[in-house]
């Protein structure tokens, strides 16, 4: 199969999927396994490769000699007898414990016979089999890149680009909640999911919490589409929304301090405060918070407002709220002591929040100040989040800890945001918006 991509990892992913292989991404709930059997001269070359797969959380299986090499790295490995001794490897494959096979065995007749049998069984189960360590290394990078069929570009080989496409971008942030913004009024970008994978990576790309497409709208000055680092669509995102207003104001696309931006099919009103013709802060009307359990959604027969929930064996005071996306707001006295990743995974594992977008740990400092830490199911803990700030304030107001009409300061790891709830319950988010830099990338 032919795979065409911007990187060898993306091209390899396309080729393997097209050939019928199941490309699985390991998670704590659904781990993946990899089986190694390599000849003696390859054993020392697998060290770095094994470390990559270990970092991805895969479970290791290997024949005796290879298993010893893997264990010497401090990595657990289940020893599996050679196929010529028994058929344990077939049983493990049938039970779904092995998703990838790496085989660089000897070239004697017995080894070739074993490989043919192993490969045939793997093909029937859609298990990826690789016989090259270079390709295996690329596979690890491919899995780490979180490529899926939904975030890779479909390339028309009959109309291939003769040269790389140059795209101008702008990187902006609010309190460290950073995104890469593309002007897509001409619809030139057809697969933003792929761009999110390639350019959001903080080590090998531009680095950001995601990317934003700024496009034409029939109901507002422009439309915003947000994509997370894994290529999934982000829906409502308040900080990027305010940055979009800065972008169209600074670029003179909209010649007014009052700007409307379409997001998720709804037009949001924004107000720009500028200095020397450049937007320095933007406020956005986010609408009313929703607490009805079926709309959050949360598994409960009543509104969840400071109710006791058990996550990972510990009890927490929880409020469930939707401010354009689903939030689990946990109130605690010492937010700095919380293991955000462990708690976030526990909330997901509980099943109480089937569409959870954010976990927000909140300390009520006083009736005008909240301290908040934010965890996202895709990006992990983030420096800030606009909807999390709004969700925290809406929850505190609902509990009677903060009053409507007051501007509440929300202290996040990346800085302060300001939220006000009016008499009708409409939330307004305000804060600084900053451009980091502009540039041009090639795809």
* pLDDT of 161 higher than 90: no
Q: Cα angle at 139 between 138 and 141, to 5 degrees?
A: 65
Residue 29: pLDDT band (50, 70, 90) is low
Please give the CATH superfamily to which domain 8-144 belongs.
Methylglyoxal synthase-like domain (3.40.50.1380)
**Do 161-278+438-442 and 8-144 have the same topology in CATH?**
no
| Average pLDDT estimate for 163-174 | 92
| Closest by CA position to 335, among listed 411, 414, 431 | 411
* Share above pLDDT 90 across residues of the chain, in percent, rounded to a whole number: 76
Whether the link from the prior residue into 315 is cis, omega within 30° of 0, is no
| Average pLDDT estimate for 68-92 | 93
Q: What are the residues whose beta carbons fall under 8 Å from the beta carbon of 139, sequence distance 6 or more? A: 12, 16, 100, 128, 130
* pLDDT of 4 higher than 90: no
Tell me, what's the pLDDT at 363? Answer: 98
The answer as to CATH 3.10.310.10 being correct for domain 307-424 is yes
| Average pLDDT estimate for 295-321 | 97
Residue 374: pLDDT band (50, 70, 90) is very high
Domain boundaries, the chain: 8-144, 161-278+438-442, 307-424
Tell me, what's the pLDDT at 176? Answer: 97
- Backbone torsions φ then ψ of 330, nearest 5 degrees: -110, 125
How many C-beta atoms lie closer than 10 Å to residue 41's C-beta?
8
Dihedral over Cα of 165, 441, 183, 374: its sign: positive
* pLDDT of 28 higher than 90: no
14 or 387, greater pLDDT: 387
| Closest by CA position to 149, among listed 188, 211, 187, 191 | 191
Q: How far apart are CA 64 and CA 57, in angstroms?
A: 21
Residue 380: pLDDT band (50, 70, 90) is very high
* pLDDT of 171 higher than 70: yes
107 or 241, greater pLDDT: 241
What pTM did the predictor assign?
0.81
Q: pLDDT averaged over the chain?
A: 93
Fold of 161-278+438-442: Diaminopimelate Epimerase; Chain A, domain 1 (3.10.310)
| Average pLDDT estimate for 149-166 | 79
Torsion (CA) 56, 61, 67, 70 in degrees, nearest 10? 0
* pLDDT of 67 higher than 80: yes
pLDDT tens, position by position, 343-354? 999 999 999 999
Structure tokens at 105: 């065995």
Residue written as token pair 């199941």: 22
Tell me the sheet residues that pair with 410: 370, 417
């Amino acid at each position: 199969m032919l795979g065409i991509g911007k990187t060898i990892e993306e091209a390899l992913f396309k080729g393997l999927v097209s050939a019928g292989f199941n490309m699985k991404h390991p998670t704590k709930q659904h781990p993946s396994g990899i089986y190694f059997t390599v000849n003696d001269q390859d054993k020392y070359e697998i060290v770095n490769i094994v470390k990559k797969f270990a970092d991805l959380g895969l479970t290791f299986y290997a024949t005796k000699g290879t298993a010893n090499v893997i264990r010497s790295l401090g990595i657990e490995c289940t020893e599996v007898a050679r196929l010529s001794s028994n058929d344990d490897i077939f049983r493990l494959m049938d039970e779904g414990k092995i998703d990838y096979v790496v085989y660089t065995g000897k070239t004697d007749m017995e080894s070739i016979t074993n490989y043919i049998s192993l490969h045939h069984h793997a093909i029937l189960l859609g298990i990826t089999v690789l016989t090259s360590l270079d390709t295996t290394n690329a596979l690890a990078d491919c899995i780490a890149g979180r490529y899926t069929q939904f975030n890779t570009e479909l390339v028309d080989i009959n109309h291939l680009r003769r040269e790389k496409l140059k795209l101008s971008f702008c990187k902006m942030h609010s309190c460290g909640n950073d995104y890469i913004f593309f002007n897509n009024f001409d619809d030139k970008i057809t697969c933003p999911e792929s761009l999110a994978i390639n350019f959001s990576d903080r080590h090998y790309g531009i680095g950001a919490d995601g990317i934003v497409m700024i496009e034409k709208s029939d109901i507002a000055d422009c439309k915003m589409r947000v994509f997370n680092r894994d290529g999934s669509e982000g829906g409502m995102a308040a900080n990027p929304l305010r940055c979009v207003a800065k972008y169209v104001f600074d670029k003179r696309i909209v010649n007014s301090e009052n700007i409307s931006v379409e997001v998720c099919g709804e037009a949001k009103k924004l107000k720009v405060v500028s200095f020397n013709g450049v937007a320095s802060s933007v406020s956005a009307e986010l609408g009313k918070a929703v607490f009805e359990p079926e709309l959050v959604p949360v598994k409960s027969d009543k509104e969840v407002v400071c109710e006791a929930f058990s996550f990972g064996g510990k009890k927490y005071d929880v409020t469930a709220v939707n401010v354009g996306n689903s939030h689990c707001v946990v109130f605690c006295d010492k937010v700095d002591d919380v293991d955000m990743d462990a708690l976030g995974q526990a909330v997901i594992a509980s099943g109480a929040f089937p569409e959870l977008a954010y976990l927000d740990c909140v300390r009520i400092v006083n009736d005008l100040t909240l301290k908040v830490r934010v965890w996202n199911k895709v990006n992990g803990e983030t420096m800030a989040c606009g909807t999390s700030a709004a969700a925290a304030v809406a929850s505190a107001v609902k509990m009677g800890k903060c009053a409507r009409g007051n501007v509440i300061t929300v202290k996040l790891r990346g800085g302060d945001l300001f939220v006000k709830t009016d008499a009708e319950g409409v939330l307004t988010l305000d804060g600084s918006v900053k451009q980091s830099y502009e540039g041009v990338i090639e795809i």
